[in-house]
Every structure is written in C-alpha cells, then in structure tokens.
C-alpha cells in the first residue's frame, strides 16, 4: 500500500513522547476536525480493513477512541447544531448558543475554516492566545467531484466486503441515484475518506511545524453517519421515508489526542453523545455553560483516564431525534418511535442482530424492554424540549 509523506511524518510520533514532561498552556488550543456523513464503521481505527485511514488510525493510537459515540440529530445541519450548542434537536431555534461564544468568554480566538484553508488559519493564530479552530471536511458530500483522482485510483478495482450490495429500499427518499451504480459510488466514498485522512495529516504537520502539538487538543468527530448502501439506502436519517435511526447513521467516530494529558491507546466503552461536547470543553477550559436546560454531561474524566465519582456513574442510555422519529439506545437494545408512538416502531437486540434485520417491536418477549425504553425516551423529550 503506497503511503503518503504525511503518513510518515505522523507515524514518526512515537507513543512515549506523549508522556513528555513539558507543561502545555493552562488552556490548550483546540482543533476540532468535523466531518459530515462519516460513520465510524468505515474507519480503520473502528475495525475497517479496506478503507485506508492511516493518519486517523495513528491519531487514535496516540490518544483516545470512544467506542460508542452517537449523533443526537443524525443529519448534517442539526447534527452540527447539537455538537456546537449542546442543545437537543427539540431545543434548537433562534439565538442558539454556539460553543465559540463560551470559549471567547475565557480568551479564546475562535474561527472556522474548510480543510483547504485550515493551514492558513493556523498560521494566522496570535502567539500566546489560545485558539479554537473548527475545520470542516468537505470531501464526503456527494457527488465527490472534489476528490483528486490519485485517491480514486487507489480503489478503482477493489470489491468491498465491508460495504453492502443491496437493492434500493422501497422507502428510499433521497440520493436514489447513488444506488444505481452502487459499487462505483462506494469506491468514490472510500477515496473521499482517504483524502480526508491526508487533510488531517497536513493539519497535524502544520501544528508540529509551529511547535503547537503538545499545546493542542485535537478532536475528530462527525455530525452524523451514512448508510452508503446498507439497508438499500445511501445518506443519513433522511435517506428514507420515514427517517431511519440505523446504527450506520447515529454511530459516529470520536477521537481525542492531547499529548501528556490524554493517555495513548485508550478506548472508552461508555455511551456518549454529541450533546456532551459543549459541557466537556467548557469544563476543560473553565468556560461557563449557557443558562440553558442542557442534557449533556462532561466526559472529561473519561477522556483523561480518571475515575468518575462513585455516586455519579455514567449514563446507560442515549437519545436521538429527527423530524417525527425518536430513538432511545442502551448498551443492548435500541427503540425507535415515530409520531409519539403512533407510527411504525422498531426494537432491536443489537448484540444478537447488529445489522438490525429483525424488528422485535411487536414481540411480546420484549415488551418489558420496549416499555422501559419508551418511558426513558418520553422523559427525555419532556425534560429537554425547552
């Protein structure tokens, strides 16, 4: 497999260096690399052995990988909003509280750039002032015209085993054209992901050149996932009518790397959500939370390898909402309700049925599970809709 020069740079970051004694600034720089429509299952660090992501895989090795991170609103725009405001999809509206506003209050220079301009944005940061830079990765938006040919050539003849070759679903609502030549479009997606991986390496190289790596927390995540042919659908939740809550659209990557502070090669199994990012970064930086009814919780102790208070264990259920569709998911089961339970429902036993093929919603053997999760979901919506 041909490796880019960027990979050799990043691969040269030896793990022992993470234990360096150099003390970073009291408040670290924060580089948030944010993709749209990137499911965790497509990445090497999450078990995919066909799509090449060596730089992101190495980033996960030098830091922390959350095994169970979920989008609260599994579509790009509302997914981004929940990440950067901490609000649930039901709470989004006018006068949203962006994360940057909180960080500006404690002295951060906040900005956003696409991947093409991100290096220039790093060069423009003032010395001695912490920055919060959000980098938007554009490669994963169809029709993938911006992906250079060298990446597409990597996958020109590959037949994927980790992608599904399924007929279009009867309830497919958008991006149906992507399902016509499914193998070709899956190869284009793989190329786009590898291009994104090289973009990440370029950012890390620039941080190294500016001697900022040990002063910078790098966070990599995605606003939502996408199906990419699985279940006969292509995009995220709105790929189907009604909207879906399949694992491929809600399960998103979350990687943290911060030399000397985030233990290397760490994985965390807890269920964390996009709505936890704002509380986490506010705790990290000392920024004040907005005076809003936020449902998220800081996972900073998890990210830094510290124990939680005994009387405050981590949650066991996460939730998602999109249009008329709601989801409650614990470590084993997933419940999907539509139209407040009046529409078609779904219930899956995920360890037994990870691809969500067998709907147990009407199975009386799962009635207790269904009732319990429905009660939790109802409470979440009632508590965090305003």
Residue 113: what are its φ and ψ, rounded to 5°?
A: -155, 155
Q: Which residues contact 23 (CB under 8 A, 6 or more apart)?
A: none
pLDDT for position 94:
58
Query: What pLDDT sits at residue 95?
Result: 54
Q: Is residue 113 part of a domain?
A: yes
Q: What distance lies between CA 45 and its chain's CA centroid?
A: 13
Assess whether 226 and 356 both reside in one domain.
Answer: no
Residue 13 lies in a domain: no
Mean pLDDT, 10 residues at a time, the chain of 386 residues: 39 37 63 97 97 97 97 95 94 74 94 91 89 89 86 92 92 94 94 96 94 95 97 97 98 96 95 97 93 92 92 96 97 97 96 97 98 98 95
Please count the other Cβ atoms lying within 10 Å of the Cβ belonging to residue 77: 11
Identify the pLDDT of residue 97. Answer: 62
Least Cα distance to 217 among 362, 327, 64 occurs for: 64
Judge if 225 and 349 occupy the same domain: no
- CB-based contact 140:37 (threshold 8 Å): yes
What pairs with residue 33 in β-bridges?
135, 220
Q: Beta-carbon neighbour count of residue 93 at 10 Å?
A: 9
143 and 258 share one domain? yes
The residue count for the chain = 386
Tokens representing residue 307 in the block? 């124990």
**Which pLDDT value is given to residue 21?**
30
Q: Quick one: which of 318, 316, 336, 317 has its CA closest to 326?
A: 336
Q: Are residues 62 and 163 in the same domain?
A: yes
> The domain that contains 107 carries what CATH number?
3.40.720.10
Count: domains in the chain: 2
CB burial of residue 229 (10 Å; 0-12, 13-18, 19+): buried
Q: Is residue 17 part of a domain?
A: no
Which residue from 209, 219, 59, 24 is spatially nearest to 125, judged by alpha carbons? 209
Domain housing 160: 26-307
Token duo for residue 122 = 């790093």
What Cα–Cα distance (Å) separates residue 384 from each residue in 91, 114, 315, 319, 379? 7, 32, 16, 11, 8
Task: Tell me, yes or no, whether 329 and 303 share the same domain.
Answer: no
pLDDT for the residue 157:
86
- Please tell me whether residues 248 and 332 are part of one structural domain: no
Angstrom distance (rounded) from CA 177 to CA 161? 22
Per-residue pLDDT reduced to its tens digit, 207-241:
999 999 999 999 999 999 999 999 999 999 999 99
Q: Is residue 50 part of a domain?
A: yes
Query: Is the domain of 293 the same as that of 343?
Result: no
**Backbone CA torsion sign across 269, 272, 278, 279:** negative
Q: Are 330 and 186 members of one domain?
A: no
3-state secondary structure 199-223: HHHHHHHHHHHCCCHHHEEEEEEEC
| Nearest Cα residue to 31 out of 224, 282, 169, 204 | 204
CATH number (domain holding residue 350): 3.30.1120.10
Alpha-carbon distance of 224 to 247, in angstroms, equals 10
Q: Give the SS3 label for residue 33.
A: strand
Last residue within a domain, chosen from 307, 340, 374: 307
Sign of the dihedral defined by the CA atoms of residues 94, 99, 102, 104, in that order: negative
Give the list of residues 6+ apart from residue 67 with CB closer than 8 angstroms, or none: 267, 268, 269
What was the pLDDT predicted at 11?
A: 43
Alpha carbon distance 199, 119 (integer Å): 10
What pLDDT does 2 receive?
Answer: 40
Residue 128 has a pLDDT of 85
CA distance 81 to 124: 26
Does a structural domain hold residue 11? Answer: no
Q: Considering the entire predicted model, what is its pTM?
A: 0.92
Contact 195, 144 (CB under 8 A): no
């Amino acid at each position: 497999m041909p490796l880019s020069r960027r990979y050799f740079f990043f691969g040269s970051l030896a793990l022992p260096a993470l234990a360096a004694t150099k003390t970073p600034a009291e408040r670290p720089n924060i580089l948030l690399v944010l993709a749209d429509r990137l499911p965790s299952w497509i990445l090497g660090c999450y078990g995919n052995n066909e799509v090449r992501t060596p730089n992101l895989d190495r980033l996960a090795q030098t830091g922390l990988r959350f095994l169970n991170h979920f989008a609260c609103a599994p579509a790009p725009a509302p997914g981004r909003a929940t990440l950067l405001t901490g609000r649930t999809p039901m709470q989004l509206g006018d006068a949203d509280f962006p994360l940057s506003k909180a960080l500006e209050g404690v002295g951060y220079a906040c900005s956003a750039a696409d991947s093409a301009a991100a290096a220039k944005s790093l060069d423009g940061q003032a010395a001695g002032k912490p920055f919060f830079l959000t980098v938007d990765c554009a490669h994963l938006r169809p029709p993938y015209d911006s992906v250079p040919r060298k990446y597409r050539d990597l996958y020109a003849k590959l037949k994927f085993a980790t992608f599904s070759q399924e007929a279009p679903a009867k309830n497919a609502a958008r991006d149906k054209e992507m399902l016509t030549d499914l193998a070709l479009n899956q190869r284009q997606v793989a190329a786009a992901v590898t291009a994104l991986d090289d973009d990440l390496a370029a950012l890390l190289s620039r941080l190294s050149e500016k001697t900022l790596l040990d002063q910078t927390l790098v966070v990599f995540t995605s606003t939502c996932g996408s199906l990419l042919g699985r279940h006969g659908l292509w995009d995220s939740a709105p790929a189907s009518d009604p909207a879906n809550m399949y694992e491929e659209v809600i399960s998103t990557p979350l990687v943290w790397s911060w030399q000397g502070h985030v233990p290397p090669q760490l994985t965390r199994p807890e269920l964390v959500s996009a709505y936890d990012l704002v509380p986490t970064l506010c705790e990290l930086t000392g920024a004040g939370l907005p005076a809003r009814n936020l449902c998220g919780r800081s996972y900073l102790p998890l990210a830094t390898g510290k124990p939680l208070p005994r009387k405050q264990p981590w949650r066991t259920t996460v939730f998602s909402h999109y249009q008329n569709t709601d989801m409650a998911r614990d470590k084993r089961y997933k419940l999907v309700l539509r139209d407040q339970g009046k529409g078609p429902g779904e219930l899956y036993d995920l360890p037994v049925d990870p691809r969500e093929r067998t709907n147990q919603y009407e199975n009386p053997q799962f009635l207790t599970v269904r009732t319990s999760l429905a009660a939790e979901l109802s409470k979440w919506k009632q508590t965090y809709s305003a």
